[in-house]
């Protein structure tokens, strides 16, 4: 099969790159004002097609800007395993997006074909699944992406319609496993696993709190996830939820004062929630439904302000880790004599490694709970879901969540195969773990899947949302940022917990931390701007604020701060 280079250049010329803009592909893919993205999504379509041919498997592309305003849009690429685009291909994405015109783009494509040894022949075939969220600009941009895919010889674009980002990730993964991969299959898969876990719930699981409730109020961010939640609920008999902020008239705009990002950052209830919802279990998803946080609020008297309680990704991770640990404990010998991180299954699988992966932004109280209360191994990675996902895949069961609510549980395939061979044991925990592996979206963080997991764990434990929140109290924290002349002036360790250069800065941070009870602080340069982000924790809010200010001053002094000096 010959590549029609003349036709390719003609197709690319219809999508000229806007001048004066440098594009950078990151964890969020490409994201910008929608009016500036046509060339980028066309080229992303080309790259997704090349990746498909290179891997000889289907890939995916979704048009979304997640929790950004409705005027923005973006594009994310999905690898054959259902995960994010391989980091090794991100430079290819940047080179294509920044090619000055169709001729420069052609040369970049030729170079990628050569470097990745992509062959074209009569049997060459590829497939790219396409989807978009509900943004007004989505349809036009999806058409541009489709044309980019079709411009590559031997690759076909397949429009899957309006989907959440995690749904498309799930479908790409399922298709490459030769499994049914429609939206109906997605709902059926999750709901059946949820029903299985319901049936396996011990009789002793009874709710014991006055705040316990089977129902849940969900903020849908006026995005695509709200629509999908309503479709999922039709398959669930014993889980009731009310979805607000569905994008209906009068509910407001996409991500405008609503959504998981707003709730997590502002620590406030979203639009269309008020004090009449006090004591109720609430959750919020983001615009493309890959983030999830829970919350509730209490008002002791009419005149007092509500007390807002946020259960973020750290709390979700801790809840899931407790459930996984409990199931494993019933499958091991000499539980009391061995830490859970080196448990041995009865039939001799060997040591089952269970780990929780966090970033330095995880609250210190959550890390202490995981290590000291649950006895689990905790690993730290650089900020960014792609780093957490990669590290979690090293465990037999790896759990990861960022504080913003993006995360999931990964099961090593060898471990699942072992559990399947022992299903005749009749041990409920084996069936529960297998059901969790089916219900949780292992391709990527998925708010819909996450809600089902949270709710089933609370049912098993007999907990209300307040019981869950009480497992530990977050340490007060503060985040600041300092503008610098060059963010490369600071280099950190891989976990971003220590400054490698300049060494004087880390010494100054250590000195400041030593002044405060429970103090912890780190700094990290931004990946996209000339700013340095500061994080600080301490036992009180005032001391956390003071520690952050002190560290910010040292960053300004030692790392080339510009503009107003931190006071």
Sequence-separated (6 or more) residues with CB below 8 Å from residue 396? 352, 353, 354, 411, 412, 414, 415
Rounded Cα distance, 539 and 471, in Å: 17
Which residues lie across from 307 on neighbouring strands? 298
Rounded Cα distance, 199 and 73, in Å: 42
User: Chain-centre distance of CA 409, in angstroms?
Assistant: 11
The length of the chain in residues reads: 567
Rounded Cα distance, 219 and 296, in Å: 12
Greatest distance between any 2 Cα atoms in the chain: 75
- The backbone torsions φ and ψ at residue 428, rounded to the nearest 5 degrees and listed phi first, read -60, -30
Rounded Cα distance, 150 and 14, in Å: 14
- Asked if 256 and 69 touch (Cβ cutoff 8 Å), the reply is yes
- The catalytic residue among 66, 284, 317, 437 is 66
Tokens (6 digits) for 92: 């290819």
Strands 215-219 and 240-244 come out as parallel
Which strands sit side by side in the sheet containing 354-359, from one edge to the other? 377-381, 354-359, 397-401, 407-411
- Asked if 271 and 217 touch (Cβ cutoff 8 Å), the reply is no
Residue 567 is among the residues annotated as catalytic for this protein? no
Q: Catalytic positions, please?
A: 66
């Amino acid at each position: 099969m010959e590549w029609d280079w003349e036709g390719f250049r003609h197709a690319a010329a219809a999508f000229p790159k806007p001048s004066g803009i440098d594009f950078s592909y990151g964890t969020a893919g490409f994201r910008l004002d929608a009016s500036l993205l046509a060339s980028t999504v066309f080229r992303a379509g080309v790259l997704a097609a090349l990746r498909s041919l290179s891997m000889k498997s289907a890939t995916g592309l979704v048009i979304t800007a997640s929790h950004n305003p409705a005027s923005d849009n973006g594009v994310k690429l999905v690898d054959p395993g259902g995960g994010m685009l391989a980091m090794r291909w991100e430079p290819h994405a940047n080179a294509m997006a920044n090619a000055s015109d169709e001729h420069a783009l052609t040369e970049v494509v030729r170079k990628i074909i050569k470097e990745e040894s992509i062959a074209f022949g009569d049997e060459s075939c590829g497939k790219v699944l396409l989807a978009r969220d509900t943004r007004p600009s989505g349809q036009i941009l999806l058409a541009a992406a489709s044309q980019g895919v079709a411009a590559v010889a031997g690759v076909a674009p397949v429009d899957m319609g309006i989907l959440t980002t995690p749904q498309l990730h799930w479908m790409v993964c399922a298709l490459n496993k030769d499994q049914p991969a429609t939206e109906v299959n997605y709902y059926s898969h999750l709901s059946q696993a949820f029903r299985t876990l319901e049936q396996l719930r011990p009789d002793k699981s009874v709710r014991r709190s006055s705040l316990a409730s089977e129902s849940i109020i969900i903020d849908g961010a006026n995005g695509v996830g709200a629509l999908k939640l309503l479709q999922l609920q039709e398959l669930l008999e014993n889980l009731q939820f009310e979805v607000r902020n569905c994008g209906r008239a009068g509910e407001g705009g996409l991500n405008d004062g609503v959504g998981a990002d707003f709730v997590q950052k502002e620590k406030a209830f979203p639009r269309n929630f008020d004090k009449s919802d006090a004591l109720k279990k609430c959750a919020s998803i983001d615009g493309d439904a890959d983030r999830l946080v829970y919350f509730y609020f209490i008002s002791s008297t009419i005149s007092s302000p509500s007390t807002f309680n946020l259960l973020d990704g750290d709390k979700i991770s801790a809840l899931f880790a407790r459930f996984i640990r409990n199931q494993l404990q019933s499958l091991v010998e000499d539980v009391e004599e061995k830490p859970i991180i080196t448990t041995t299954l009865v039939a001799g699988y060997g040591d089952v490694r269970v780990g929780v992966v966090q970033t330095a932004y995880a609250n210190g109280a959550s890390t202490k709970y995981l290590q000291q209360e649950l006895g689990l191994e905790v690993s730290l990675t650089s900020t960014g879901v792609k780093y957490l996902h990669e590290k979690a895949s090293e465990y037999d069961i790896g759990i990861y969540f960022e504080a913003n609510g993006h995360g999931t549980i990964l099961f090593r395939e060898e471990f699942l195969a072992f559990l399947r061979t022992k299903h005749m044991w009749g041990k409920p925990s084996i069936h529960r773990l297998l059901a969790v592996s089916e219900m949780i979206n292992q391709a990527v963080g998925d708010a819909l899947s996450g809600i089902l997991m949270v709710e089933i764990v609370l049912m098993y434990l007999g907990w209300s949302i307040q019981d869950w929140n009480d497992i530990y109290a977050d340490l007060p924290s503060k985040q600041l940022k300092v503008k610098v002349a060059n963010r490369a002036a600071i280099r950190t360790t891989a976990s971003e917990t220590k400054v490698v250069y300049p060494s004087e800065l880390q010494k100054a941070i250590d000195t400041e931390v030593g002044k405060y009870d429970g103090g912890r602080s780190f700094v990290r340069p931004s990946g996209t701007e000339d700013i340095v982000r500061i994080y600080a924790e301490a036992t009180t809010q005032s001391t956390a604020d003071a520690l952050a200010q002190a560290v910010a001053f040292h960053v300004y002094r030692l790392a080339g701060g510009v503009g107003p000096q931190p006071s």
